[in-house]
């Protein structure tokens, strides 16, 4: 359980922002950042660095774009020994959105990509490295990837990039432990010069278990979020993950502070965690957008609990 090579990344503001269009108040983010910094976490991901031409700034909050001045505003004066990260979507970001690393509070750029966008992802990751950042490539929707195309993408990453880690991303929460084994073996077959990472979603309540399976298989970059806050059913809860790791540098008390004061109150407006609609999206290996629509309905709407109709409808997707 204790392995010094392990790095834990908190994605609360980034992945949690998928539940409220990234509308987190600055003061809330500053408190969350302070708590995470005191917990000893290795990486704190403060939202996306995506293009304002592809997202409407009138609809989406600041953390969908997360510019350097905003990061300075919420982090200045907070002592943090780890790395501040942002995520760029391969198909929704531009390389020129990054300043040189020596002019930015960011030190890690995480590039999220589908297999068919791997050329774009490699371009973004290589540009980040050339500008002085550390970079990762996070391969999304792994359970939908065509195996031959995934093999080619992994080979291309190995031959054409200098990323620090490549992530197995269970976007739909469909994987089981044996699937984690399969993908770890596949990624290792091609990736000889970087670490592996794992990012799990929780429709089937397996995000923590599958992250542990990754740890067992020597995956060293691990993602989690406070109280599991994230898209749909959410992610691996970071407080569980850090408790499991038994690293003496970790302190979960600040995590509990952030959860109690900042995360639990969000449940008045958004819902994540176990539910039948989210469970069905995971079992059926589909995007949770329809389940998210159902969960946002008022409790008085009979469609919200018509699980049989939802099951048949989702099964036809």
* pLDDT for residue 1: 61
Looking at the fold, whether 122 and 235 belong to one and the same domain comes out as yes
Q: For residues 310 and 226, state if they share a domain.
A: no
Task: Give the tens place of pLDDT for each residue, 41-57.
Answer: 999 999 999 999 999 99
Q: Which of 89, 80, 78 is nearest to 15 (CA)?
A: 89
> What pLDDT does 81 receive?
96
pLDDT of residue 3: 87
Is 119 found in the same domain as 37? yes
Question: Do 104 and 181 have their domain in common?
Answer: yes
pLDDT tens digit at each of 317 positions of the chain: 678 899 999 999 999 999 999 999 999 999 999 999 999 999 999 999 999 999 999 999 999 999 999 999 999 999 999 999 999 999 999 999 999 999 999 999 999 999 999 999 999 999 999 999 999 999 999 999 999 999 999 999 999 999 999 999 999 999 999 999 999 999 999 999 999 999 999 999 999 999 999 999 999 999 999 999 999 999 999 999 999 998 999 999 999 999 999 999 999 999 999 999 999 999 999 999 999 999 999 999 999 999 999 999 998 76
Q: State whether 258 and 300 are in the same domain.
A: no
**Same domain, yes or no: 47 and 164:** yes
Are residues 177 and 262 both part of a single domain? yes
Structural domain includes residue 1:
no
pTM of the model: 0.96
Q: How many domains does the chain have?
A: 2
pLDDT for 76-121, tens place per residue?
Answer: 999 999 999 999 999 999 999 999 999 999 999 999 999 999 999 9
pLDDT for position 234? 98
Helix (H, G, I), strand (E, B) or coil at 258: helix
Its domain, for residue 225, covers: 7-268
User: Residue 157 to residues 13, 36, 54, 62, 271: CA-CA distances in angstroms?
Assistant: 27, 31, 26, 31, 36
- 114 in the same domain as 46: yes
Q: Do 119 and 217 belong to one domain? A: yes
């Amino acid at each position: 359980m204790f392995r010094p090579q392990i790095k834990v990344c908190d994605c609360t503001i980034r992945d949690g922002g998928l539940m409220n269009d990234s509308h987190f108040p600055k003061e809330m983010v500053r408190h969350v950042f302070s708590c995470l910094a005191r917990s000893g976490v290795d990486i704190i991901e403060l939202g996306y660095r995506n293009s304002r031409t592809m997202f409407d700034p009138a609809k989406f909050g600041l953390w969908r774009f997360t510019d350097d001045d905003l990061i300075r505003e919420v982090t200045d004066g907070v002592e943090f020994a780890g790395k501040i990260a942002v995520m760029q979507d391969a198909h929704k970001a531009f390389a020129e959105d990054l300043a040189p690393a020596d002019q930015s509070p960011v030190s890690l750029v995480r590039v999220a990509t589908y297999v068919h966008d791997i050329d774009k992802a490699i371009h973004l990751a290589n540009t980040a490295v050339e500008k002085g950042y550390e970079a990762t490539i996070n391969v999304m929707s792994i359970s939908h990837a065509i195996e031959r195309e995934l093999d080619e993408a992994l080979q291309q990453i190995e031959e054409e990039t200098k990323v620090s880690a490549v992530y197995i991303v269970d976007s739909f929460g469909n994987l089981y432990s044996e699937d984690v084994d399969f993908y770890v073996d596949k990624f290792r077959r091609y990736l000889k010069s970087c670490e592996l990472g794992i990012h799990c979603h929780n429709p089937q309540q397996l995000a923590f278990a599958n992250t542990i399976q990754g740890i067992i298989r020597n995956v060293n970059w691990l993602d989690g979020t406070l109280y599991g806050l994230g898209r749909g059913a959410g992610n691996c809860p970071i407080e569980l993950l850090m408790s499991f790791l038994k690293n003496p540098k970790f302190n979960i008390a600040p995590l509990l502070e952030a959860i109690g004061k900042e995360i639990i109150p969000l449940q008045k407006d958004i819902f994540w965690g176990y539910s039948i609609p989210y469970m069905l999206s995971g079992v059926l290996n589909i995007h949770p957008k329809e389940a998210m629509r159902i969960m946002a309905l008022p409790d008085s709407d009979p469609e919200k609990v018509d699980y049989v109709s939802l099951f048949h409808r989702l099964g036809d997707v």
